[in-house]
Amino acid sequence: MSHTLTHAKISSNIRTQNAANYVAESVQGAAATSSKEANKEQAKGNVPGKDSLTDRASGALDATSDKLNEKKHEGSASANKQGI
């Protein structure tokens, strides 16, 4: 009897942890998306005071990095959602 109860408790704890991780990854993914969009605008030269060639190149590189982070967090969120 206690083995079944322990298994149920462990399963519940895992689902709770997956839910928390899903929320955290979703928030981090949204932050990466927001940063990516801001950096894309900088790369286009649409940010006053950050429109030099160097600033634009930096914005493009940062947008690329943000895109990778966005996809990583989306993948992790999806995996955690499946475990809920």
Name the pLDDT band for 3 (thresholds 50, 70, 90).
Answer: confident
- Name the strand (E) or helix (H) holding 47: none
Is residue 43 exposed (0-12), middle (13-18) or buried (19+ Cβ within 10 Å)? Answer: buried
Q: What's the mean pLDDT in 2-15?
A: 88
User: Tell me: the pLDDT tens digits for 28-80?
Assistant: 999 999 999 999 999 999 999 999 999 999 999 999 999 999 999 999 999 99
Tell me, yes or no, if the pTM score tops 0.95.
no
Q: Does the pLDDT of residue 1 top 70, yes or no?
A: no
The confidence score (pLDDT) of residue 9 equals: 93
Looking at residue 48, the DSSP 8-state letter turns out to be T
